[in-house]
Every structure is written in C-alpha cells, then in structure tokens.
Amino acid sequence: MTDIKSLTLTELERETERLGEKKFRAKQIYSWLHEKLADDFNRMTNLPGELREKLKQEYELTRLTLVQTQLSKLDGTCKFLFRLADGNVIESVLMKYRHGNSVCVSSQVGCRMGCRFCASTLEGLERGLKPSEMLDQIYQIQKWSGERVHNVVVMGTGEPLDNYDALLRFIELLTCEGGLHISQRNVTVSTCGIVPRMRQLADEKLQITLALSLHASSQEKRKSLMPVANKYSLPEVIDACRYYFEQTGRRITFEYSLVGGLNDTKEDADRLAALVKSLNCHVNLIPVNPIKERDYVQSEKQAIVNFKNNLEKSGINVTIRREMGRDIDGACGQLRKSYIDAEK
Ligand code: SAH
C-alpha cells in the first residue's frame, strides 16, 4: 500500500484524480495530514464518507507509537522512544530554547557509519526511515507538547545523507506551505561527511544549514574516530563544505566533540583553525558524551575553555554546546540502545 504521508501535494493531486475525485480534495487531505496532524482517516470530517473509505483501502497512514518518554529535570529536554509499524524503535529529542522548540529527529533505524564514540552505530544499520516516519517524529512531539516546533535538526540516529531521497522528500514536506511550513533556514542536516552526497545536496540549492561532524583536525586522528574518513580525506571534505557555501550562501557548522587527551590539545586547536579559517563557518564544540561500550572520556573543563580561546584567537566563530538532558540518556542513540538491551 502507498504511504500517503510521504506524498507531496502534487503527487496527492494525481492520486485524487486517479480515484476520480476533484483536485481540491488533495489540498484537504494534505492539510489533515500535515497541518492538523490527523492520525486517522475518520477524523477527516470534511471529506465524504465514501472517499474516506476509499482512502482507508488504498493507503497506509504512518503513525508512530509512543513507547517511552524521559523528561530532564534540569532543563526540560525530553527524549521520546517511538515504535514503527514494523516493530523497530527509534528515538527523538525535544529541546526547549529561548528562541523556540527544537526537535532532533532520527533518519535511520541504526547506522552503518561506525563512529567510535557513538551509541547509534553499535548495532549496525537496520534500514532507512521513510519520509513519513521522519515527519511523524515531529508531528507526535508537537501534539504531545501542545507547542509549535520551530527548528528541526537531523542529528538523531542515522546518517541522513545515507538515506538521501527520503531526506529530501522529508525536507520538502516539512517546509511546504500546506504543512507545518517550517522555514528551510530552521532546518539543519548533520553529516559525518559523505562527500559526493554533500555536493549533490549543495546542487539542490536549499536554504538549510549543513553541519559537518569533523571531530579531528588531522586525517590520522579523524580516521581513528570515524571510519568514513578512510573513504574521504579531510581536504576533500573541507572542499565539499566550501562548495556547499558557494552554492547556497549558507554558513557551514562544524561539530567537534572534545575527547579527553585525544583531540583537545593546543596543537589540535591550531590545526583546526588553519583548516577552517578560509571558510565562512561556525564551530560547535561538544564535550563528548561517554558511552559505556567505549572508554572515551570528556575533556577537562579547563581544556575545553582553552580550546575555545585558542580558536577565538585565530578569529574563528565558536560556541561550546550547552549540554542538555545530561540526567537522561542524552547522547545519540543511548535511549534506544538501553531499550533494545533490556528487551533482549
Ligand atoms: N550521522 C550524522 C548525524 C547523527 S550524529 C553525523 O554524523 O553528523 C549527530 C552528532 O552527534 C554528530 O556530530 C556525532 O558525531 C555526534 N555524537 C554522536 N555520539 C556522540 C557522543 N557520544 N558524544 C558527543 N557527540 C556525539
């Protein structure tokens, strides 16, 4: 059965035509799905009963089931564990900032990128998420909280550029006027650095922010943390970032997780500054969130501050990411991993 929540408005218009219905019905259905966030064809009360029956027979309506929430007492960050129709579970996060609510969505069930410090990759990749499954994380969270979602970051489990077509469709549906209509500028996609896909994304000329997970300023150190670095060298990755900026005019965000004694020295900072200096960019420092399966530790508080100061001295825009939800399974993939372990 066709997944109706993954269809664009134009495709839906073709579908209603095929069903022998008037074109305006497509807009109504689209609005029920993506604006009023209906989970059930029965709720679509301005459609004739006969059409609702037809829709039930012809289409699958994707809806995630909430399994568990974890609310941080520190800052109101909330983690959500959702079950998909095929029984897999995924996680999403709601973060409340002064400038609005931000949702971090997963793009895949598991991940095959193998970054050493990341919990999402420990069980490998199960499958990519459908556009509707990415969207419904936001829809269910908006309904749960009763508050509008302003920003979306694709930084949950999975490598979004390893699920490219679904990702693009997700962005189209998310930013479409007839749906939640989130501005492209309020959407960030984070990648470990799949170079050809980064270039392809640049050519789409969207106004979304591209975040690159850098984590090291030398090829050797990056390879020790991220297997993807065996495939694409640092200069290639940086070139792709430059290309993204040239094509879109959007400033690149570099994510850099600080690991104690591994990538947090003055030499690391100076090399990082030299690497990104010629780019219009922003560096986001993230104290690594230790996972029990690996023995990486956070950098000392002072080392983090020194690292930031060193970058600033070289004229780099840099922030230390405020750690949110440290009292819940905050790191990427930790909640899902502990749930799967418990199920076993
Ligand atoms: N696959 C994409 C998006 C998902 S990960 C990517 O690699 O960018 C989102 C960010 O969290 C990435 O920068 C990732 O490297 C980082 N991350 C994952 N696990 C982490 C951990 N335990 N501590 C700190 N950062 C982590």
pLDDT given at position 327: 73
Crossing angle of helices 164-175 and 195-203, in 10° steps, is 30
Q: How far is the CA of 51 from the centre of ligand 1 (A)?
A: 44
Q: Is residue 37 within 8 Å of residue 107, measured between CB atoms?
A: no
* Average pLDDT for the chain: 95
pLDDT given at position 28: 98
Phi, then psi, of 19 in degrees rounded to 5? -80, 0
Ligand 1 atom 4, closest CA: 155
Tens-digit pLDDT profile for the chain (344 aa)?
999 999 999 999 999 999 999 999 999 999 999 999 999 999 999 999 999 999 999 999 999 999 999 998 888 899 999 999 999 999 999 999 888 999 999 999 999 999 999 999 999 999 999 999 999 999 999 999 999 999 999 999 999 999 999 999 999 999 999 999 999 999 999 999 999 999 999 999 999 999 999 999 999 999 999 999 999 999 999 999 999 999 999 999 999 999 999 999 999 999 999 999 999 999 999 999 888 888 899 999 999 999 999 999 999 999 998 777 767 765 667 778 778 888 77
Q: How far is the CA of 193 from the centre of ligand 1 (A)?
A: 12
**What's the Cα-to-Cα distance from 262 to each of 188, 220, 226, 294, 296, rounded to whole Å?**
27, 11, 13, 14, 9
Q: What share of the chain is helix, strand, coil (3-state, %, to 5)?
A: 40, 20, 40
Ligand 1 atom 15, closest CA: 213
Ligand 1 atom 9, closest CA: 155
pLDDT given at position 185: 98
Cβ count within 10 A of residue 312:
14
pLDDT given at position 36: 97
Ligand 1 site residues (CB inside 6 A) read 113, 115, 117-118, 155, 159, 190-192, 213, 255, 257, 286, 288-289, 291, 331-332
Q: How far is the CA of 111 from the centre of ligand 1 (A)?
A: 11
Ligand 1 atom 13, closest CA: 213
Q: Is 262 exposed, middle or buried (0-12, 13-18, 19+ CB in 10 A)?
A: buried
Q: How far is the CA of 318 from the centre of ligand 1 (A)?
A: 18
Residue the block writes with tokens 């922030």: 319
pLDDT given at position 338: 79
Q: Which of 106, 109, 225, 286 to mutate to test the pocket of ligand 1 (most atoms within 8 A of CB)?
A: 286
pLDDT given at position 329: 65
Cβ count within 10 A of residue 334:
19
Closest CA to 334 of 63, 70, 113, 96: 70
Active site residues: 91, 332
pLDDT given at position 332: 61
Query: pTM score, two decimals?
Result: 0.96
| Nearest-angstrom CA–CA distance, 268 and 309 | 13
